[in-house]
Structure 1
Amino acid sequence: MKPFALPATRLRRAARHRFGWPTLRPEQLTAMRALLRRRDALVVLPTGAGKSAVYQVPATLLPAPTVVISPLLALQQDQITALNDRGRPELRAVRISSAENAGQRAAALDDIRHGRARFLFTTPEQLANPDRLAEVRALRPALVAVDEAHCISAWGHDFRPDYLALGQLINQLGRPPVVALTATASPPVRDDIVARLGLRRPRIVVSGLDRSNLFLEVANCATEEVRWRRLVALLEAEARPGIVYVPTRRAAEELATRLTEAGFPAEHYHGGMPAGAREERHQRFLDDQVPVMVATSAFGMGIDKPNIRWVAHMALPDAPDSYLQEIGRAGRDGDPARALLLWRAEDVGLRRYFTGGAPDPDQLRDLAALLRDGPLSRKALRERTGLGTRKLGQLLALLERVGAATTLADNQLGSPRYAPAPTDAASAALAEAERQLAVQRSRTDMMRAFAETMGCRGQVLLAYFGERLPNPCQHCDNCHAGNVEPPGAAPAADEPFPVRSAVRHPEWGPGLVLGYEADRMTVLFEEVGYKTLSVPVVSEHGLLVPVPD
């Protein structure tokens, strides 16, 4: 099949005539054109910036159906409803998932097969079924869209083990072009997505991470009572609905009760609740029946709600990745919204505790040995090892990184032909885990640096993601307090290395320059994670040297 190279005017015409969108953003158009040329793409756009359009518009110009893989049924249903409400046959969407019975799944596949539907929504779990995978492969899809792609990354805050086999599963679909979509992905997460999905020379589009309608503010609270009073002040000043993020399930329940008793009706949400209760509470929030939701990070994907006026954090988030994702749920209608972080130094210790420690080397060794005797299904591995789904997924991800695990045909798991011996595999995987722990600790350090900065918070936040905000954001508390020089008021700081250039440190090894803020620079090192360095010190002592391409 010849690659598609349709001009941008055809894409704009399809967007206008089929979806009613008068214009396309430059970043959307860039990714769409890559897909029509049968090139893979990784698209990082904030919530509400039109990620779905990136695959939907090209799909109407392709000769075969598009498969959309997404982790949340509620999120799928929103997108299916939006497509089907347009009443156009070429936009009709169907789904095969655990929510449909066998007859409904068969009817959905038949609709795709006979051209009565264009989009097939499904989950990684469905594709892991060999019979289901064969049925989807027979449709000869022209495009695969992986939504919430950060779930495939061990660095992503919503890591899901079921996503780990997606690269192999997509290959078994005939390897059509793939577009990976997410609202936030730092450089390590992007690298993970590319590697695990096996993206081929992907067109990487990252844009719009700075939300000018979102006011960023931080308060360091001396006591828990001060933190409570600051939250109450927010509730008294701002309209609802809003979301309060807390670090633990117990905190969610206790704070929701305290707010309700104080005259601010609130409900709680966390991953320990029954699935039915979570779904019901989620829907009530979307329907404006819950003015304040107090939640852990489990309340996240699928919140497609434009009128959230504020998001508050009652503790330091684990990393800027999850922080940006969570505050991005406010102000999606474009109207002003607030993001308030209330933190204490004690929060850092809590985050260190949640990060956990290194895995058990005996479990790694035994799992590597089992894989050498494979192939085995995930269910068989759980039964043989006694490990839970998430723990097994994490250990498999580590063994995969060191060449001791791989996904085989029919989603079975085994070891590569030249895999290291189980003992050696365990040692290498343990070293990789310790490296990951160091990087995770550095991510928390970067979150603390954001909270403590007296400079522009927008610049600090975007530097973490390797994006550049050339001027102060003018929508954070520090900018408004006059702590930040306005654009053009001071000469630009010396920047000894270009942003996104490779460098090397004598102790920390190779790294990537992510950005500058005043006289500080942010560098992501492969072995130790994120570091914020003094530019004068780096220059004076030659701490970094460029690495040739």
Structure 2
Amino acid sequence: EVAKLDSTLTTGEERETAEEIANGANDLIYVTPERLENPEYLDLLRTRGVSLFVVDEAHCVSQWGHDFRPAYLALPDAIRALERPPILALTATATRQVVEDIVRQLGMSSAEIVNLGIERPNLRYEVLRTVNGAAKRESLLRVLREEKGSGIVYAATIRTVEDLHRFLVANSIDAGRYHGKLPTREREQVQESFMSGGTRVMVATSAFGMGVDKPDIRFVVHWNFPDSLETYLQEVGRAGRDGKPARAILLYRLEDKRVQSFFLGGKYPRRQDTLAVWSAIARGPASARELARKTDLPEKKVKVIAAQLIGAGAAERRRRHIVPLRSLRPKELDRLLSSYEKRHASDRDRLEQMMHYAQSVGCRVRTLREYFAEEPGAACGRCDNCRQPLAARPPTAARKRAPPKPAERVPRFQLGDEVRHRRYGHGKVLDVSGSNVLVAFAKDMTHKIRQDWLSPA
């Protein structure tokens, strides 16, 4: 028997589910991280006994990950409260740095790491470059008319989702829309319609996806490019789960970078935000919701700051409350703010790698393999760049004149140079082969990496 504890339950349903769990009627319990912040639910689960603690979408626990969610910060406390049962952490998209952070955050000191790779042989990756909004809309219509199956169109903002939905409906495309501002009941109805085949195309923000497992999705289109290749791979991975051919299409305009840059600008707490939360905690124990009310900050941001203060040893979590332990020295505050800047720099780097993917003329699957520290291997033979290499493409109006002969590329790094990679850290160049170099990193690891992805040490 299966039970769930989430926000969709009524008060009566919650009470009934809790009684079933207490009586041992359920062998498998699905629970949201938010519910594990509730001491009553933790007590219930501890009394029942947990033999395996599974964390799905485990990259959400890492503050270095592409989809960090503050609610996941409660999981380590929940694991301790449940007397540390065996842990299974699952994610489809995590770099080596994020995997290491997941292991550390969840206290999996002797974890066995199983990496099945990113390869999806039935997915065809494509980038459609557009010069303006009108051309972009026409490209989207062309894709939706070419493809007869169901698919998802992702957009970065709620406003864009609403605009695109109106545009598609006006052009006789059977489309629904999904975003976080819709009423819960409407979201449930439109998702059910899509899952059952009643709606062919779903226009959505990234809020649509977790828990969506529709095997026959034939295409995923990104109207705006995402903030990282991790996010991109996560979202296009919803296509073709039945093993049949499917398309992953990115509609690309350079101006789209502004949207993600805007989001990154407000993602991390400012000095005054951190000081405000610390001052509120220092006045006495308070829950994250109470701290948000006292500081006039979003609860999500309060949870991020509180997690940093707990990590610094200045506070601790006692059931629902954040409790001060000692004073916070100015140097400690500076270190906290420095950690935000490092993560911000990491986010900017991920965005640049997403742009590199969009602009690349090489095999897109090889680009993805390299990013996730896999062997580049042979070209996939199925992405747009493999099927129609740049030299074989017909000239457009903007390329009628022959381009000037490019200057010969001089290798950026030489044998013996010391370099730094954002995931592997410090290393030394062992060999140079065109745009790639072989680098020796710590722990006797060697990797063949594009020169563009390295910086001088």
Shorter-chain-normalised TM-score: which range? 0.7 to 0.9
Residue 460 in structure 1 maps to residue 367 in structure 2: yes
Cα offset for 1:246?
1.3
SS in 2 for 1:164: helix
User: Are residues 463 and 510 of structure 1, via their aligned partners in 2, closer, same or farther at CA, if it must alter by over 3 Å?
Assistant: closer
Query: 2 CA distance for matches of 1:506 and 1:287?
Result: 49
Q: 1:522–1:240: structure 2 CA closer, same or farther, 3 Å change rule? A: farther
Correspondence for 2:340 = 433
What displacement does 1:456 show?
1.2
- Superposition pairs of residues 328-343 of structure 1, within 5 angstroms: 328-343=237-252
Q: Is residue 236 from structure 1 mapped to residue 145 from structure 2 by the alignment?
A: yes
Would the alpha carbon gap of residues 508 and 235 (structure 1) be closer, same or farther in structure 2, given more than 3 Å must change? closer
Asked whether the equivalents of residues 398 and 432 of structure 1 are also in contact (C-alpha less than 8 Å), the reply is no
Map of 2:321 onto structure 1 = 412
- What is the match of residue 478 of structure 1? 385
**Aligned 8 A contact 2:61 2:70 in 1:** yes
- d(CA) in 1 for partners of 2:198, 2:437: 45
Q: Which of residues 54, 61, 78 is equivalent to 1:169?
A: 78
Give the equivalent residue in structure 2 for 1:247.
156
Q: Residues 368, 522 of structure 1: CA spacing in aligned structure 2 closer, same or farther, 3 A cutoff?
A: farther
- Residues 506 and 256 of structure 1: is their aligned pair in 2 closer, same or farther, counting only changes over 3 Å? closer
Preserved CA contact (<8 Å) 1:307 1:333: yes
Kindly provide the CA deviation profile for residues 9-53 of structure 1, in whole angstroms up to 9, marking residues without a partner as x.
xxxxxxxxxxxxxxxxxxxxxxxxxxxxxxxxxxxxxxxxxxxxx
Tell me whether 1:201 sits opposite 2:110 in the alignment: yes
Q: Give the SS at the match of 1:342.
A: strand
Q: Quick one: which of 377, 383, 394 aligns to 2:293?
A: 383
Task: Using the TM superposition, give the Cα deviation of residue 346 of structure 1 relative to its aligned residue in structure 2, in angstroms.
Answer: 0.8
Please tell me the residue identity of whatever aligns with 1:476.
Answer: C
Correspondent of 2:45 among 136, 144, 149: 136
Tell me the SS of whatever aligns to 2:113. strand
Contact 1:506 1:543 in 2 (8 A): yes
Query: For the residues of structure 2 that align with 1:187 and 1:217, how far apart are their CA atoms?
Result: 26
Q: Which residue in the other structure is 1:28 paired with?
A: none
Q: Is the 8 A contact 1:362 1:426 kept in 2?
A: no
Give the drift of 1:375.
3.4
Q: Which residue of structure 2 lines up, in the alignment, with residue 281 of structure 1?
A: 190
- When residues 325 and 143 of structure 1 are mapped into structure 2, their CA distance, relative to the original with a 3 A threshold, is same
- The Cα offsets for residues 75-128 of structure 1, whole Å up to 9 and x where unpaired, read as xxxxxxxxxxxxxxxxx2223344445665555455555554321222222222
Q: Give the Cα separation in 2 of the matches to 1:209 and 1:512.
A: 25
- What's the counterpart of residue 442 of structure 1? 349
Describe the shift of the 1:255–1:111 C-alpha distance in structure 2 as closer, same or farther (beyond 3 A).
closer
Moved more, 365-374 or 461-470: 365-374
User: Which one of the candidate residues 425, 428, 431 is aligned to 1:511?
Assistant: 425
What is the match of residue 172 of structure 2? Answer: 263
Mapped contact 1:124–1:166 kept (Cα < 8 A): yes
Q: What amino acid is aligned across from residue 137 of structure 1 in structure 2?
A: R
Please, which moves more after superposition, 206-215 or 354-363? Answer: 354-363
| Shift of residue 510, structure 1, vs aligned partner | 6.9
Deviation (angstroms), 1:398: 3.8
The 1:347–1:520 alpha-carbon spacing in structure 2 relative to 1, beyond 3 Å, is farther
- 8 Å contact 2:155–2:224 — kept in the other structure? yes
**Alpha-carbon contact 2:22-2:44 (below 8 Å) kept:** no
The Cα RMSD (Å) is 3.2
- 2:270 equivalent in structure 1: 360
SS in 2 for 1:182: coil
Q: Distance in 1 between matches of 2:382 and 2:312?
A: 44
In the alignment, the residues of structure 2 paired with residue 350 and residue 521 of structure 1 have an alpha-carbon distance, to the nearest angstrom, of 33
Amino acid at match of 1:424: K
- The question of 1:520 aligning with 2:436 is answered yes
Change beyond 3 A, Cα 1:275–1:368: same
Residues 373 and 414 in structure 1, CA contact (< 8 A), matched pair in contact too: no
* CA–CA distance in structure 2, aligned partners of residues 518 and 296 of structure 1: 40
Distance in 1 (CA, whole Å) between partners of 2:421 and 2:386 is 35
Alignment of 1:534 with 2:451, yes or no, is yes
Question: How far apart are the structure 2 equivalents of 1:95 and 1:268?
Answer: 26
d(CA) in 2 for partners of 1:262, 1:217: 24
Q: Percent identity?
A: 37
Name the counterpart of 2:218.
309
Q: Is the contact made by 1:267 and 1:290 (CA closer than 8 Å) also made in structure 2?
A: yes
Specify the alignment match of 2:406 in structure 1: none
The verdict on how the C-alpha distance between 1:165 and 1:295 changes in structure 2, with shifts beyond 3 A counting, is: same
Distance 1:314 1:95 in 2: 34
**1:320 corresponds to:** 229
Q: For structure 2, which runs of at least 5 residues remain unmatched after alignment? A: 392-410, 442-448
- Conserved? CA contact 2:129–2:251, under 8 Å: yes
- Structure 2 counterpart of 1:318, one-letter code: D
The list of structure 1 runs, each at least 4 consecutive aligned residues, that deviate by more than 6 angstroms after superposition, is: 506-510
Of residues 192, 207, 229 in structure 2, which corresponds to 1:298? Answer: 207
1: CA distance, partners of 2:353 / 2:40: 45
- 2:36/2:74 contact within 8 Å kept: no
Opposite residue 367 of structure 1, the aligned amino acid is: V
**8 Å contact kept, 1:368–1:426:** no
In the superposition, relative to structure 1, how do residues 136 and 512 fare at CA in structure 2: closer, same or farther (>3 Å)? farther
Which residue pairs with 1:227 in the alignment?
136
Q: How many residues align?
A: 422
Q: Distance in 2 between matches of 1:269 and 1:103?
A: 28
Equivalent residue for 1:126, pick from 35, 42, 58? 35
Q: Secondary structure at the match of 1:351?
A: helix
CA distance in 2, matches of 1:326, 1:507: 26
Please give the alpha-carbon distance, in whole angstroms, between the structure 2 residues aligned to 1:167 and 1:114: 26
**Does the C-alpha gap of structure 1 residues 130 and 397 become closer, same or farther in structure 2, counting only changes over 3 Å?**
closer
Q: Say whether residues 1:190 and 2:99 are aligned partners.
A: yes
**1:148 partnered with 2:57:** yes
1:25-40 mapped onto 2 (5 Å cutoff): none
CA distance in 1, matches of 2:40, 2:114: 35
State the partner residue of 2:281.
371
Partner of 1:49: none
**C-alpha displacement of 1:231:** 1.3
CA distance in 2, matches of 1:458, 1:364: 41
Structure 2 residue identity aligned to 1:132: Y
Pair 274,109 (structure 1): closer, same or farther in 2 beyond 3 Å = closer
Q: Partners of 1:462 and 1:369 in 2: how far apart?
A: 46
Deviations 1:212-243 (A, max 9, x none): 10000112212222212221221121112111
Partner of 1:117: 26
Shift of 1:483: 6.2
Q: How far did residue 154 of structure 1 move?
A: 2.9
Q: Following TM superposition, by how much is the alpha carbon of 1:180 offset from its aligned partner in structure 2, in angstroms?
A: 1.1
